Amino acid sequence: MRLSYDLHIHSVLSPCGDKDMTPNNIVNMAYIKGLDIISVTDHNTMENVEAVMKVAKKRDILVIPGIEVTTKEEVHVLCYFRNIEDGMEFQDFIYRGLPDIKNNEKLFGSQLLMDEDDNIIGKIDKFLLNSTKYTIKEINDFVNKLNGALVPAHVDKKSYSILANLGFIPDELNIKTVEVSSDYFSLSTDTLINLDRYNVLKNSDAHYLGDINEPIVFLDIERKNINFLIEYLNKSWRNIR
Amino acid sequence: MRLDKIVKELELEVLTEKNIENDVEGVYIGDLLSLVMANANEKNLWITIQTHLNIIAVATLVGLSAILIAEGMEVEDETIKKANEVGIPVLRSKLSAYELACRLYELGV
């Protein structure tokens, strides 16, 4: 099945996410645009994922539990899980690794928890944009233990990217899929050379509703379910010369 | 200047096996490895707070004299193990990159 996707969307729980990025707005925008699969990946937390999953059931959109983690090296990695329980176990581990620094709403914006009716049910105190104390390897090991998938985020960017911060993608992580922020054909030659072994996703990294992907990028999986998607992200689909 | 002299004068902690008699010419400071690969020069002493295994690969690639970890950052075991394998000295100090740079300048590096 050729399915359209956007696996990197921020909700109102990310301090940088717009106030309109509520569970219902995100799902309905994806529905209007005609997306098949989405993932809400807030910074270092998954507290709003379950509400999004509940809303999406009515719309026949597949939601994969996700999170955007900041590693000790200040690299952003997207982590995806097979179910919300694994996701919550992972997010608790991540939350423990965040420094005890309170969010400053005036400076960074609010970190709102919502239910499936878009009611505000709380806030997260710790500032979520900080780096966790875990190395990229420690995070990768935990994702693997939970049978999830790890995808380095916006590798073509100059900051918070595995290529900028670590120079190249370490083989030992056994990564199969990366995310880029620009159109594939506008990437620099340097970036393309670095990526010739990997599957490439193009997500929106949307902080505003209008930025969510149009249905113009696709992935090909046998059935529209999370297990097939995780396996797609963990497998090499390109010919290794 | 010889590395062992710098280690002695700045009271640096040596995290790798002691082969610190190589020459240092100039200093590079940076934490984005892509920039270090592009801009650091051979025989530089590199001051950074990155401790990932990749720093050893970058140091080897550029031909750096040594890596100096600032701010007393914790260094992964595998990074030290690799450094010993390829013979890149890894040093550490509690001082910030700025303080270290000032001390190195005073020393005449």
Closest chain A residue to B73, measured at CA: A72
pLDDT above 70: percentage of residues in chain A: 99
Residues B2-19, mean pLDDT to the nearest whole number:
95
Of residues B51, B58, B76, nearest to A167 (C-beta): B58
Closest approach of B33 to chain A, Cα-based (Å): 5
Residue B81 CB coordination number (10 Å):
12
Closest approach of A168 to chain B, Cα-based (Å): 8
Q: Per-residue pLDDT for A114 more than 80?
A: yes
Residues 60-79 of A with CB under 8 A from B: 72-73
Q: What is the pLDDT, as a whole number, of residue A183?
A: 86
Q: Per-residue pLDDT for A39 more than 80?
A: yes
Q: Per-residue pLDDT for A241 more than 80?
A: no
Mind listing the pLDDT tens digit for each residue in A175-195? 999 999 988 889 988 888 889
Residues of B in contact with A191 (CB under 8 A): none
Q: Per-residue pLDDT for A49 more than 60?
A: yes
Tell me the average pLDDT of chain A: 95
Reported pTM: 0.93
Residue B4 dihedral angles phi and psi, to the nearest 5°: -65, -30
Closest approach of A194 to chain B, Cα-based (Å): 12
Determine contact: A141 vs chain B, CB below 8 A.
no
A231 SS3 class:
helix
Residues of B in contact with A163 (CB under 8 A): 34
Closest approach of A164 to chain B, Cα-based (Å): 5
Mind listing the pLDDT tens digit for each residue in A132-170? 999 999 999 999 999 999 999 999 999 999 999 999 999
Q: Provide the pLDDT confidence category of residue A79 given band limits of 50, 70 and 90.
A: very high
Mind listing the pLDDT tens digit for each residue in B70-104? 999 999 999 999 999 999 999 999 999 999 999 99
Of residues A73, A163, A164, nearest to B52 (C-beta): A73
For residues A24 and A41, give the distance between their C-alpha atoms in angstroms, rounded to a whole number: 15
Q: Per-residue pLDDT for A113 more than 70?
A: yes
Q: What is the pLDDT, as a whole number, of residue B78?
A: 94
Q: Please enumerate, as own/partner, the contacts of B56-60 that have beta carbons within 8 Å and a separation of 24 or more.
A: B56/B82, B56/B83, B56/B86, B56/B88, B56/B90, B57/A167, B57/A168, B58/A167, B58/B33, B59/B88, B60/B86, B60/B88
Mutation target to probe the B interface, by most B beta carbons within 10 A, among A73, A132, A158 is A73
Residues of B in contact with A170 (CB under 8 A): 52-54
Q: Provide the pLDDT confidence category of residue A88 given band limits of 50, 70 and 90.
A: very high
Judged by CB atoms closer than 8 Å, whether chains meet at A168 and B57 is answered as yes
Q: Per-residue pLDDT for A239 more than 70?
A: no
Q: Which residue has the tokens 């379910």?
A: A225
Q: Provide the pLDDT confidence category of residue A240 given band limits of 50, 70 and 90.
A: low
DSSP string for residues in B24-89: ---EEE-S-HHHHHHH--TT-EEEES--STHHHHHHHHHT-SEEEE-TT----HHHHHHHHHHT--
pLDDT above 90: percentage of residues in chain A: 91
Judged by CB atoms closer than 8 Å, whether chains meet at A168 and B76 is answered as no
Q: Per-residue pLDDT for A84 more than 80?
A: yes
Q: What is the pLDDT, as a whole number, of residue A175?
A: 97
Check: CB of residue A148 under 8 Å from CB of residue A80. Answer: yes
Residue A92 dihedral angles phi and psi, to the nearest 5°: -65, -40
pLDDT above 90: percentage of residues in chain B: 98
Q: Taking CA A94 as the corner, what is the angle to CA A154 and CA A168, rounded to the nearest 5 degrees? A: 35
Closest chain B residue to A75, measured at CA: B32
For residues B53 and B34, give the distance between their C-alpha atoms in angstroms, rounded to a whole number: 14
**Nearest to A218, CA basis, from A202, A206, A197, A237:** A202
Residue B98 dihedral angles phi and psi, to the nearest 5°: -65, -50
Closest approach of B81 to chain A, Cα-based (Å): 15
- Token reading at B79: 């990074």
